[in-house]
Amino acid sequence: MVGNIGNALGAAGIGKIPGADDAKSAGAAGTDFATFVKQAAEDAVGTMEAGEQMSMKGIAGEADLTDVVQAVNSADITLRTIVTLRDRMVQAYQEVIRMPV
């Protein structure tokens, strides 16, 4: 998910380093916003499910502790990113509502 956000920002030219290679962001430039959001949401759900499954395997003693920690940390970062994006979207909506017509 974080990679998708980075690709979208790169495609928009945000955070772009002058002289950097544009080949990486060329693929993301052709997708529309709805497709990007849908794919990011699907990736987030997949990451959360993988973290949960790895936790269950860890509890059952079927997985290595390092793999469990990595999966749980990845799920935690994804959840924090989603919550931050939600908060920003709500904040932007509230600012638009407060604008005089």
Q: What is the DSSP string of 36-79?
A: HHHHHHHHHHHHHHHHHHHHHHHHHT-S-HHHHHHHHHHHHHHH
Q: Give the pLDDT of residue 31.
A: 82
Q: How far apart are CA 8 and CA 80, in angstroms?
A: 19
pLDDT at 4: 60
Q: Provide the pLDDT for residue 85.
A: 93
pLDDT at 7: 60
Which ranges of the chain have pLDDT less than 70? Answer: 1-29
> Quick one: pLDDT at residue 1?
57
DSSP character at residue 17 = P
Q: What is the pLDDT of residue 101?
A: 82
pLDDT of amino acid 15: 46
